[in-house]
Every structure is written in structure tokens, then in C-alpha cells.
Amino acid sequence: MSAPVESQADSPPALSIWRAIWGSLRGAQQDYTSAPLPRAIILLAVPMALELLMESTFGLVDIYFVGKLGPAAVATVGLTGSLIILVFGAAIGLSIAATAVVSRRIGEGDEEGAGLSAVQAILAGVGFSVLVSIPGALFASQMLTLMGGAPEVVAGSGYTAVLFGTSSVIFLIFLNNAIFRGAGDAALAMRALWLANALNMILDPCLIFGWGPFPEMGLVGAAWATTIGRGVGVAFQFWVLVSGNRRVKLGREQLRYDPETMRRILRIALTGTIQFTVGTAAWLGIMRIVAIFGETTLAGYTIAIRLIHFAILPAWGMSGAAATLVGQNLGAGHPERAERAVWLTGAYNCGVLALMGLIFWVGAPPMTAFFSDDPGVVATGVEALRILSLGYVFYAWSMSFSQGFNGAGDSDTPTYINFGVSWVLQIPLAYVLARPLEMGPRGAYIASLIAGVAWALIGGLLFRRGKWKSRRV
């Protein structure tokens, strides 16, 4: 699997790189269909990576404070996170569609069409969130039981009920940030998430432990801290969208239902949702297999996964640059430039994750021990971190290829890959290694590593074929 040869323009001087980083943080406007690709990638990737770095930091802060409540509370957060990510596959699918369609319209120079597309995505997101909120809030304890949670884990179902019942803020913060990224305004998405998660970090200990004038709410307080923080972030997003001074504007002309645009959004969102749900359901299956080995093992794995997200989510942010560049350059009629953008993004991503993998391998014991003083929890977390970190360089390429397909509106291809890799390979292999071959949870970790390698190889071969370049959005 070899990438196209890069030109000298793909290797800017160090001074230009630092200028580009500063410009990305300031939210500098840029034509991503003509700027040098390294500069374009940096302008998009830095704020996207920082945006999702804050999201992963938020998860670690949650686990840090919740960890003071004991392993059962940590396990409740872990199972709830698995469930909520699975259910919110619709939000991810709509976000994929929003980025693809908005970026294509921006590349075509149709800013009014980009705003109209944004409105349709928001309308769909609100509708889906209503469908999720009510049953999620009512059946929180049953869902935790179904996931194999012990009685003391299910006792924390109030946390689960709050997060599901207020799902609209999660849908909207995903969607609005996807709209910003598709338009190339990645710095705005970064600021919205920073605001939301900074508030969550402040409110977490206040509402969990009853600091100052706040009530002591325990585990449920962590859910309310999340909801309030993200709600404020959503309010900021809408303020920007209606202010009318960015690429995507929600004026009176765009505030209407458009059946044709909605159809395009939902078509991409459907396979995008399936794509994400298939992959996430496999992760849920791994979590279920790990849960067989007890509360301590599950708590250790939960901590490891949160630490892994700390590395993987910023890398997803960098990969998000590929989605925007592919969409805008296809819209402008530059398919070869779109392809080169994905290869370059993958190479940069590979370097970043290789470094993170090394850090996690060496630093796994103190990192895990920071979140728990239970020896069993720490041992499980260290083992999971070290095995999974071996696949980071492959994850870097699979993320870049996946985002490249999605940015082109070809959400079908990564959906098929996810199904084959996750359900034909990963889950059966994880069960066989963990149970019949008696490798325990280690078998599940090894199966996840093998699946990540397979995705990168298959995705690279299909991306080279180039059928995504002719996808109409």
C-alpha cells in the first residue's frame, strides 16, 4: 500500500508551520481548495485535534472524580458510555452527512446551500433526539442490567437516565460542530467544545461532592455537570450560526424545510449511522465479554478505554481535516488534490499516534494508577493499554481512510469494512480467545488489535481504487 508521491510543496518550512498553527487557533479564513495542502491540513487539524483532546480530557476528568465513589460507579460510567455511544450513532451519522454536504456546497461556492443543508441536519437531529430521550430515561436500569451490570452498578442508573433524558444537547453539539468543520471553521468547533467541557470540569466536583453552595448529588451530579456544560456550548454554537459573519449562516432564507436537501442528508446519514453503530456495537460486544470477568476487570478496562480515547480522539480530529478537504476539493473539481490530502493526513496522523503508543506502553502503570488504587483494576488497565497501543499506527491510517470516504459522501464503503472487520473477525475471535482458549480478557484485547490492523489494510486498498471520487452529494 503506497501513497502518491508528494511534491516539495507538501513539505513547508518550520516557520510556515508555526504560522499556520497560530492561524488555525485564531480561526483564520482560508480557501481550502487552493492553499498548500500541509498548511490546509494544519489549519483544520490543529483546532479539530484540540477540540477532541478537550473531549477526551473531559472523559478522563469524569472518571477521575467518579473514581472517588468506587469501582461500581466507574463501571456504571463505562457501561453508560458504551450504551450512549451506540444509541447516538444517529448523531454521528448525521454529523458525517452534515460535514460531507456542507463541505461540498462550500467547495462549489454555494454558501446559501451550505446554510440550508445545515438547517436540515439540525432538524433531523432534534427529531432523533426526541426518539432517544424518553425510552432511554425510562429504561436506564434495565439497559444496565442487559449489559451485565452487577446490582451495585445498576444502582447508579440515575446517571444513565439523566444523560439519555437530555440527549438533545449531545445531538446538537455533535451536529453543529460537524457543520463548522465542513465549512472549514474548525476553530469555532474547538471553542464550543472547550467552553462546554471547561464548565463540566468545574461543575463535576461541585455537583458530585457538594462543594460550596452546590448540593451533593453523587454519581448523578456528574451527569448534570455534563448536561449543563454541553447545553451552554450549544447556545454558543447557535449564537455563531445566526450572527451571519461566518461561511455558514442561518438566516431567514435557510430556516425552512427542504425535502430534496433533507433526502441527501438522510441518505448519507443512514449508512453513516450504520457504519458507526456496527463498529461501536462491536466495541460494546468487547465490553460485554470483558464484563464476564467481573467488576474489577471491567473497571480497569473502562479506565484504559478512557485513556486510549485521550489519544485516539485528537487523532480523529486530525483525520477530520481529510473529510473537509475531500468534500471541498471534490466540490471545486480537484479530485487528485482530495486524494493527496488523505494520504498526507494519514502520514501526519501515523507519526502522532506512534508517539502516543510509545508513551502509553511505557507509562501505563502510573497512568492507570492515577485513576484507581485498586491493584486488580490497575493490572487490568495496564494490560489493555499495552496490547491496544501496539496498533496505534494502523488506527492512524484507518481513521484517515474512513474520514476520506465520509468526506466524499461515500459512507457505504467504511460501513461494509466495519461490518466485515468487527462482526466477521473481531467479535468471534475475541470470544474464542477469551473463553474456549482461556486467555481471559487478554484475548479480547488481542482480537481488537488484529481487527484494527485488518481495517487499515482493507481501507487502504479500497481507497486506492478511487471510486469515492465520483460520488455525488
- pLDDT (tens digit, 9 = 90+) per residue, 14-66? 556 667 667 667 766 778 998 888 888 888 888 888 877 777 677 777 788 88
105 pLDDT band, cuts 50/70/90, is very high
- pLDDT (tens digit, 9 = 90+) per residue, 252-268? 888 899 999 999 999 99
Share of the chain above pLDDT 70, in %: 93
The alpha carbon of residue 54 and the mean position of all alpha carbons in its chain are separated, in whole angstroms, by: 12
pLDDT of residue 344: 94
- pLDDT (tens digit, 9 = 90+) per residue, 383-399? 999 999 999 999 999 99
pLDDT of residue 385: 92
pLDDT of residue 17: 62
Burial class from Cβ neighbours inside 10 Å (0-12, 13-18, 19+) for residue 437 reads exposed
Q: Which of 386, 404, 399 is nearest to 452 (CA)?
A: 399
The predicted model gives 390-419 an average pLDDT of: 94
Residue type, 28: A
Of 2-11, 101-110, 179-188, 425-434, the least confident: 2-11
Taking the domains of the chain in order of start, what are their residue ranges? 11-470
Q: How far apart are CA 48 and CA 187, in angstroms?
A: 7
Q: How far apart are CA 206 and CA 213, in angstroms?
A: 8
- Mean of the per-residue pLDDT values for the chain? 88
Which one has a higher pLDDT value, 30 or 340? 340
pLDDT of residue 122: 94
CB atoms within 10 A of CB 435: 14
pLDDT of residue 7: 43
pLDDT of residue 307: 84
pLDDT of residue 148: 81
SS3 label, residue 2:
coil
pLDDT of residue 28: 64
> Is residue 293's pLDDT more than 50?
yes
The predicted model gives 276-288 an average pLDDT of: 84
Q: Which of 68, 41, 67, 324 is nearest to 179 (CA)?
A: 324
Cell triple for 471: 460520488
Helix 259-291 to helix 412-419 angle (10° resolution) is 20
Kindly report the backbone phi and psi dihedral angles of residue 439, in degrees, each rounded to the nearest multiple of 5, phi listed first. -90, -5
Q: How far apart are CA 224 and CA 217, in angstroms?
A: 9
The predicted model gives 401-425 an average pLDDT of: 95
CB atoms within 10 A of CB 457: 14
207 pLDDT band, cuts 50/70/90, is very high
294 pLDDT band, cuts 50/70/90, is confident
Q: How far apart are CA 192 and CA 254, in angstroms?
A: 22
Residues 6+ apart with CB under 8 A from 224: 162, 203, 207, 217
The predicted model gives 146-157 an average pLDDT of: 86
The predicted model gives 363-390 an average pLDDT of: 90
Cell triple for 232: 451552554
298 pLDDT band, cuts 50/70/90, is confident
The predicted model gives 169-184 an average pLDDT of: 91
pLDDT of residue 170: 85
> Is residue 234's pLDDT more than 80?
yes
Burial 247-270, CB ≥16 within 10 A → b, else e:
bbbbeeebeeebeebbebbbebbb
pLDDT of residue 49: 81
467 pLDDT band, cuts 50/70/90, is very high
> Is residue 444's pLDDT more than 90?
yes
> Is residue 4's pLDDT more than 80?
no
pLDDT of residue 27: 66
Q: Are 373 and 342 in contact (CB under 8 A)?
A: no
CB atoms within 10 A of CB 23: 17
235 pLDDT band, cuts 50/70/90, is very high
- pLDDT (tens digit, 9 = 90+) per residue, 73-83? 888 888 888 78
pLDDT of residue 401: 97
